[in-house]
Amino acid sequence: MSSTPNDTVLVTGGSGFLGVRVIAQALAEGHRVRTTVRSRAKEARVREDLKAMGTDADDRLSFVEADLTADEGWTEAVTDCRYVLHTASPFPGGEPDHEDDLIVPAREGTLRVLRAARDAHVQRVVVTSSFAAVGYGRPATERAFTEDDWTDPDSGIPAYIRSKTLAEQAAWDFVERETDGPELAVINPVGIFGPVTGPDHSTSINMITNLFGGALPGTPRLYFAVVDVRDAAELHLRAMSDPQAAGQRFIAAAGDAVSLHQIALAIRERLGPAAEAVPAEELPDQAVHRAARANPALQSMLPNLGKIRHVSNDKARTVLGWNPRSSADAVAATAESLLRLGLLPPTSGK
């Protein structure tokens, strides 16, 4: 199976940081795109974001109002679509009052999209899951996590990580049970960075803005993998059209995990004097623990100090021919765009 120009592609969550990039990628490849938004009031912003990326959507982009928590709108959304790219999912800035506030819309919303795709005879659905469904609830080891690994949802993990795991498991169970349903491919992104087009962006971008605030004299010993949003979008389109992607999941990562210290140094090198407030030193764990006693907002990072979850992107590279930007390029592009748009915080002093 390969896609052809003028195939209609549904992108759910088109106003999201990733969703709008997926729309841009699909348009660039010649597809007609329909996208769902929770409110039609978001249409203007999506079109503005696309223009900021150099994409003129004209009449090839249409909008449908639909919410993951309700059935209304989904039949209209999927009608005459060959593919569905399901990027919509709740991503909070903190822990919800009750984990079901995340789990229910993530899992039931994914199933709602899959049922609509089945009924409309969609050929393939690409679901945006997360590395959260791959590498948590188990000890970090020297072996890199791959697509064969699964997070243990019953291991006391945070609600967001559990919601992504249960939603992806529900998707695979659905296609196994519904033999006349669509093909399924899943993308498991790590932390998504890259250029922003305005103040509405992914939660992970806050990590970069915080580096410029000068609140800490150094970076905690935190490690994570990153991916540029443009590369994550491209991988979605490859998984949509490549015959080998059916029934597969793919980790979207620029490379192995990097330290927050490495990220800070990459930004300082790329932005020069504009990044003077970004810490150049790495903090010992004891200093972070002391800071967390005075600032409870820092306590959530304590269990992850020094823990490295190695990750492999070999499958996406070898099976789909994906060649992402480096981690340094991804985070530098983030910082450069935040600086250009005036979205960096004033330095508070060290």
Residue carrying the six token digits 């993530």? 106
- Report the residue count for the chain: 350
Residue 150 φ then ψ, to 5°: -135, 140
Q: Which domains does the chain have, with CATH numbers?
A: 8-194+228-255+310-326 (3.40.50.720)
- The H or E element containing residue 37 is strand 32-37
Contacts of 344 (CB under 8 A, 6+ apart): 209, 212, 335, 338
Q: Three-state SS string across 62-128, please? A: EEEECCCCCCCCHHHHHCCCCEEEECCCCCCCCCCCCCHHHHHHHHHHHHHHHHHHHHCCCCEEEEE
DSSP H stretches of helix in 90-225? 100-119, 159-177, 206-211
Which of 37, 30, 90 is CA-nearest to residue 62?
37
* Dist CA 347 CA 350 (whole Å): 8
Per-residue pLDDT tens digits of the chain, which is 350 residues long: 456 666 899 999 999 999 999 999 999 999 999 999 999 999 999 999 999 999 989 899 999 999 999 999 999 999 999 999 999 986 555 566 778 888 888 999 999 999 999 999 999 999 999 999 999 988 877 899 999 999 999 988 888 899 999 999 999 999 999 989 999 999 999 999 999 998 877 788 989 999 998 777 899 999 999 999 999 999 999 999 999 999 999 999 999 999 999 999 999 999 999 999 999 999 999 999 999 998 888 888 898 999 999 999 999 999 999 999 999 999 999 999 999 999 998 764 44
Stated pTM of the model = 0.94
Contacts of 300 (CB under 8 A, 6+ apart): none
On whether the CB atoms of residues 189 and 232 are closer than 8 A, the answer is yes
On whether the CB atoms of residues 108 and 88 are closer than 8 A, the answer is no
- The H or E element containing residue 331 is helix 327-340
